[in-house]
Structure 1
Amino acid sequence: MATTYKMTYFNVRGLGEPIRYLLVYGGIDFEDKRIGFEQWPAMKSTTPYGKLPLMEIDGEQFHQSAAIARYIAKQLKLTGDDDIESMLCDIVVDTFSDFRSQMTSWFREKDEAIKEKKRGPLINETVPFYMERFEKELEKNNGYFVRGKLTWADFYVAAVVEVMEDMCKISCLDKYPNIKAHKEKIENIPQIKAYIEKRPKTPF
């Protein structure tokens, strides 16, 4: 019997999109259960740690988006050719997660005065700090993040950078041509392109 996959996440791209990209790329059938934010309070206590996305594999529940994505990547042989390349993939994803956490922290700030005060440093300092380094990594690795080959790190960054731009209402990719070209390259992989064309339209 074939393995069954069911991913539960909000009806947004967010941290679920790298997982969806990998599943789609690998031709893995999965149930894409999307819930409304209003459904979450009643559902939260039924999840292992009160977090989404949640992946069920043959009925067994797993959480932590990066761990889920890494597991799928291993099935697809997208974690590099040796332990060093596997570590390099993790470094890219973990570093990008550090970047994302700073962006989402600003996005979730409720006090508009504080939010406005933080926006300048975020756009003028945090974004260039990370994006300039990612830009150089792509240049060094012939358009990919790990030693010139396609890995799950590429799917992760391409999916999440789009979400971050939408959340923070910034458009910075034109300043970083390697990152822009990389995102477009991943989005034009036939399986990913077909998925993007039919996925639900969401704000982020």
Structure 2
Amino acid sequence: MIELIYFDFNFWRADILRLCLSLGGIPFKYKRLARNSWPKEKKNFPFGQLPVLVIDNQMYAHTHTLARYCAKKSVLYDTNERKSLIIDQVLDWANEITNLVAPSIRAAMREKNLEKSKKLREEFVKNDLLNWFTYLEDLLNKSSKNKKFFTDNFSIADITAWRVIYWFTSGRLDMVEKSFIDKLPVLKKYYQGINNYDPLIRLKEFREITST
């Protein structure tokens, strides 16, 4: 059985993997590591990172790599080369916007420097937030005929886009007003559609993510 290992909190990097596997009916075990144990545990994981998948006692790492693997097993990738490029762009977009907001998170959580965190978050909101979600909306407009799914079929791209939009509109990121999505009507309608996509919302993982 596949084992997915991540920290003891919900985050898109692991959530897209477990949602994908669950949608595909792929059995897996989900192991959560306590965040305060990470300094000691880090050396035991490839690249010193999480999430990882353990398959036949072998660890595999890097979110994008794992997402493609899970999506292919769950038939949520695409055999069409150009459509797979669309999917990969969404995965890379998620990683890039995370890297842009991450310094403000680290300043607060690791450095305990709230003033620095506030300044970095202000810069992110001013310079990056709307720009990067506009990039995502532009990709949807160019890639999708039905505007329901990025490749016109539900895929790991939609799981990823939904999970990251959920994060940024949840109200859990200080200074990020959830109403920013109102400026992106196509993306907002798309997000609402995924939020009501029955095969997804009936999963226990979906309910757990959205209830915490």
* Residue matched to 1:190: 198
RMSD after superposition: 2.3
- Report whether the alignment pairs 1:168 with 2:173: yes
Seen in structure 2, the aligned counterparts of structure 1 residues 61 and 108 have a Cα distance that, compared at 3 Å, is same
Aligned with residue 78 of structure 1, among 76, 79, 98: 76
- How far the C-alpha of 1:198 sits from its partner, in A, is 4.1
- How far the C-alpha of 1:117 sits from its partner, in A, is 2.1
* Residue matched to 2:2: 5
Q: 1:1-204 alignment to 2 at 5 Å?
A: 4-14=1-11, 15-109=13-107, 110=111, 111-140=113-142, 141=144, 142-144=146-148, 146-166=150-170, 167-169=172-174, 170=176, 171=178, 172-194=180-202, 195=204, 196-198=206-208, 202=212
- How far the C-alpha of 1:125 sits from its partner, in A, is 2.0
Give 3-state SS (helix, strand or coil) of 2:19's partner. helix
Give 3-state SS (helix, strand or coil) of 1:79's partner. coil
1-structure distance, mates of 2:14, 2:87:
18
Q: Deviation digits for residues 48-102 of structure 1, max 9, x if unmatched?
A: 2211111112322111111111111112232223212212211221123111110
- How far the C-alpha of 1:197 sits from its partner, in A, is 2.2
Unaligned runs of 5+ in 1: none
Q: Which has the higher contact order (CA 8 A, sep 6+)?
A: 1
Whichever residue aligns with residue 80 of structure 1, its letter is D
Unaligned runs of 5+ in 2: none
Seen in structure 2, the aligned counterparts of structure 1 residues 193 and 115 have a Cα distance that, compared at 3 Å, is same
2-structure distance, mates of 1:200, 1:56:
26
2-structure distance, mates of 1:42, 1:187:
38
Whichever residue aligns with residue 72 of structure 2, its letter is K
1-structure distance, mates of 2:148, 2:8:
29
Contact 2:53 2:59 (C-alpha < 8 Å) held by counterparts: yes
Normalised to the residue count of structure 2, the TM-score between the two structures is 0.82
Q: Deviation digits for residues 2-56 of structure 1, max 9, x if unmatched?
A: xx11111112221111111101111111111112112222221221221111111
Contact 1:8 1:53 (C-alpha < 8 Å) held by counterparts: yes
Q: Deviation digits for residues 92-141 of structure 1, max 9, x if unmatched?
A: 21123111110122211233332222222211220111112212332341
Task: Tell me which moved more, 179-188 or 63-72.
Answer: 179-188
